[in-house]
Amino acid sequence: MFSFFKKKPPAPPASTPAVAASTPSGTQDARATAPAAEEPPPRAGWLDRLRVGLRKTGSSIAQVFTGTQVDDALYEELESALLLADAGLPATEALLADLKRRVKETKATEPMAVKALLIDAITDLLKPLERALVVGEHTPTVMMVVGVNGAGKTTSIGKLTHHLAAGGSKVLLAAADTFRAAAREQLSAWGDRNRVDIISQQGGDPAAVSFDAVSAGRARGCDIVIADTAGRLPTQLHLMEELKKIRRTIAKAQADAPHEVLLVVDGNTGQNALAQVKSFDAALQLTGLIVTKLDGTAKGGVLAAIARWCAAEQRPLAVYFIGVGEKLEDLQTFDAREFAQAMVQ
Ligand SMILES: Nc1nc2c(ncn2[C@@H]2O[C@H](COP(=O)(O)OP(=O)(O)OP(=O)(O)O)[C@@H](O)[C@H]2O)c(=O)[nH]1
Ligand SMILES: [Mg+2]
């Protein structure tokens, strides 16, 4: 069973080996050490929504296995279905090679058996992305949330804040999208729903707001500070430069922060999502992702593309959460096998 996030005590002094935040969250050991992890939200309804969301991809991949033969035609159809699902060429090629190896090893001859092996192959590809968000190691844990306009940053922060507050964490939000009044109001609305404080400043400098929020978070003994940033700026300003400045300024308020730089990507944007991962990572050294809108027309394969890129580039990014709707409970932890099953159906 999944915890929504993992609570850890503060990191031990430098002399003892630190319990790495990168400890694989999937291990029993790691999960067992989460003392006050919140009761996880029900997953069944969520999985159905993900299945429905990915149905287009799922049914077209499932279609490949409805025949009676495992032959070249089947592999060709699968290649097309994966490419259509936004998996991209490198991930598609890697999955096909891995699948053929598994088929050979198990001597599978039935298409349905090959379909099960494909689920295994996709699961293994996606597994490195599956990691719980760690909170509690730093006081406060500082997160910076970035992403293009409309990706779902503010909504995801609202949902995440709800879960963190419900789990007993004291959260402070920084409205670092200072250019639009609506952005502050939107974040405030989520803040009110969750009874958390917000630092905002109309028309102020986003980096200054972030600095104030981290300083206030330290002074007030907050567990978590989350900075919501803009996805688009007035044209004369360069988004990446502004975000880099926020990152640098946060580090001035707390030396080891931000502890998490989360990119929110819209699951419907296909291969463009991978392009966003690359450019935001190059500018900001991401730690993880939240993939939203997987309840819509998303095809899901882009997670395979991202996983493949992370492996090739040795960038151990996590997919901490996925969004499957607009309601509070529609943010869920990412489970590689569940996702692979929903993709293939
Ligand atoms: N269906 C669905 N809609 C979502 C999801 N996440 C966010 N949205 C919707 O996407 C729209 C944009 O979300 P925001 O949270 O405002 O996006 P943002 O990244 O903060 O946008 P900017 O601040 O303009 O850069 C809103 O209408 C949200 O309700 C999701 O998982 N599923
Ligand atoms: Mg926003």
Say if residue 229's pLDDT is above 60.
yes
For the ranges 59-63, 143-147, 174-178, 191-195, which has the lowest average pLDDT? 191-195
8 A C-beta contact, residue 129 and residue 265? no
For 1-19, what is each residue's pLDDT tens digit?
A: 346 778 777 765 544 333 3
Q: Which residues line ligand 1 (CB under 6 A)?
A: 147, 149-155, 177, 183, 230-231, 264, 292-293, 295-296, 323-326, 330
pLDDT band, very low/low/confident/very high, at 270 (cuts 50, 70, 90): confident
Give the three-state DSSP class for 226. Answer: strand
Residue 98 corresponds to which tokens in the numbers above? 């891995």
Counting ligand 1 atoms within 8 A of each CB, the residue from 188, 326, 328, 332 with the most, and so the one to mutate, is 326
For 18-43, what is each residue's pLDDT tens digit?
A: 333 333 333 333 333 333 444 555 66
Say if residue 147's pLDDT is above 60.
yes
Say if residue 325's pLDDT is above 60.
yes
Closest-CA residue, ligand 1 atom 17, reads: 152
pLDDT, average across residues 146-174: 92
Per-residue pLDDT, 27: 31
141 forms bridges with which residues in the sheet? 224
Ligand located closest to 232 CA: 1
Say if residue 217's pLDDT is above 50.
yes
**Mean of the per-residue pLDDT values of the chain:** 86
CA of 293 to the centre of ligand 1 (A): 8
Chain centroid offset of residue 46 CA: 16
Which positions ≥6 away from 144 have C-beta within 8 Å?
210, 226, 227, 229, 243, 246, 247, 250, 258, 260, 261, 262, 284
Pairing, β 331-333 against β 318-323? antiparallel
pLDDT band, very low/low/confident/very high, at 260 (cuts 50, 70, 90): very high
Q: Which atom of ligand 1 is nearest to the CA of 296?
A: 1
Per-residue pLDDT, 25: 36
Secondary structure element (H or E) that encloses residue 60, with its range: helix 55-63
Neighbours of ion ligand 2 (CB under 5 A): 153-154
Print the SS3 string covering 33-47. Answer: CCCCCCCCCCCHHHH
According to DSSP, residue 165 is labeled: H
| Ramachandran assignment for 327, one of left (phi > 0), alpha (psi -120 to 50 degrees), beta (any other) | beta
Share of the chain above pLDDT 90, in %: 61
For 91-143, what is each residue's pLDDT tens digit?
A: 999 999 999 999 999 999 999 999 999 999 999 999 999 999 999 889 999 99
For 279-323, what is each residue's pLDDT tens digit?
A: 999 999 999 999 999 887 788 899 999 999 999 999 999 999 999
267 residue type, one letter:
G
Q: Which one is predicted more confidently, 16 or 197?
A: 197
CA of 152 to the centre of ligand 2 (A): 7
Counting ligand 1 atoms within 8 A of each CB, the residue from 146, 154, 155, 276 with the most, and so the one to mutate, is 155
Per-residue pLDDT, 232: 82
- Estimate the crossing angle of helix 55-63 against helix 72-84, to 10 degrees: 170
Pairing, β 318-323 against β 260-266? unpaired
Closest-CA residue, ligand 1 atom 14, reads: 152
Per-residue pLDDT, 236: 61
Query: What's the CA gap between 176 and 209, in Å, rounded?
Result: 6
pLDDT band, very low/low/confident/very high, at 57 (cuts 50, 70, 90): low
Residue 1 corresponds to which tokens in the numbers above? 């069973």
For 175-190, what is each residue's pLDDT tens digit?
A: 998 877 788 888 888 7
Per-residue pLDDT, 104: 97
Per-residue pLDDT, 14: 45
